[in-house]
Amino acid sequence: MKYFLSICVLLLLLYSCDSSKSSMRGTSENMGVSSDTVRIANDSLEYEILVIEPGFNAWLITQPPKGYYGLPFLEIRNRLYVVNYNQRVLSPNFNRNLYPQTIDYDPNIHYGMEVNYMLYNYFQYFEKKYNQRLK
């Protein structure tokens, strides 16, 4: 339960690393994509988010800074996103590669600004990249 967010993101990474991409030659640096491993953690609660997704870093720096949204806003949005995401995981109508595992986001736990900010932005990125609407 401690690392539920990192497991979810890791599973999404596995989806994005399918065999069709292995035929491409060159490294990601040669193709204009930098290494996209981001670790955000709340060590006091032992929760972390690892985002390993090509293009996420470049996209994240174009988003409003951490203090732009208040913590209550991020928590409310993340609850909504997690509920909708988890419903899609349980539904046979949605792609199992996009929705591999439920996210155990407990609204009674205060994950902190960094974890909520990263989760919110990952959901925003996920919606845009995979053309999904979680709202």
Q: Please report, for the chain, the start and end positions of each structural domain, with discontinuous segments joined by +.
A: 4-130
Residues above pLDDT 90, as percent of the chain: 44
The reported pLDDT for the residue numbered 35 is 54
DSSP characters over the chain:
-TTHHHHHHHHHHHHHS-GGGGG--S-TTTTT----EEEEEETTTTEEEEEE-TTHHHHHTTSPPTTTS-HHHHHHHHHHHHHHHHHHHH-TTS-TTTS-S-----TTS---HHHHHHHHHHHHHHHHHHT----
Residues above pLDDT 70, as percent of the chain: 66
Q: Tens digit of pLDDT for each residue in 20-46?
A: 333 333 333 333 344 565 665 566 657
| pTM of this prediction exceeds 0.75 | no
Q: Tens digit of pLDDT for each residue in 49-82?
A: 777 778 888 999 999 999 999 999 999 999 999 9
For 112-116, what is the mean pLDDT? 90
Report which of residues 52 and 109 the model is more confident about: 109
Does the pLDDT of residue 87 top 90, yes or no? yes
The reported pLDDT for the residue numbered 131 is 95
